[in-house]
Amino acid sequence: MSEHPGFELFPLTARQKVATMAASLLGLLLAALDQTIVATAGPEIQRDLHIVPSLYVWITTAYLVASTVMVPVWGKLSDLFGRKRILLAGMTIFLVGSTGCGLAQSTTQLIVMRAVQGLGSAALFTNAFAVIADMFPPADRGKYQGIYGGVFG
């Protein structure tokens, strides 16, 4: 019998837990980096696409708004359909958005693709924290959320 009832429904070996945590952390790192990465490349992007200052702010805002709105939606969907499916869907959407950003030839295309990236990144972010709740008992979750916070923050 487990010392933490309810946490043996899908028992994982230590190796599986490490692999799951690593995958979740990488997804979380992608989501975190993509929120702010435009700040570094922004001036160059603005020059290349001739973006007026009033639209420039939307490159970051579109991503953040889409991501923020979708976090609770992805959370519910991952409860209904499973973490793996939603994580893969989020990664696919994020990849499509990232590819679209790289291929964007106009401000509008870039803003739309940044919003698509945000939609996908929300699944990465949501699943990272849901995985902790699935794998660890409440008494241990704070430690692992701290690790995630170090990656995200």
**In which band, very low, low, confident or very high, does the pLDDT at 134 lie, cut at 50, 70 and 90?**
confident
For residues 59-81, give the mean pLDDT: 95
Tokens of 3: 């010392």
| Domain range annotation of the chain | 14-152
Average pLDDT of the chain? Answer: 87
Fold of 14-152: Growth Hormone; Chain: A; (1.20.1250)
pLDDT tens digits, 12-23: 888 988 898 888
Please report, for residues 76, 87, 96, 128, the alpha-carbon distance to residue 26 in angstroms, rounded to integers and kept in the order given: 22, 12, 18, 9
Summarised one tens digit per residue, pLDDT across range 115-133 is: 999 999 999 988 888 888 8
pTM listed for this prediction: 0.83
pLDDT of residue 1: 42
Q: How many Cβ atoms are within 10 Å of 48's Cβ, its own excluded?
A: 11
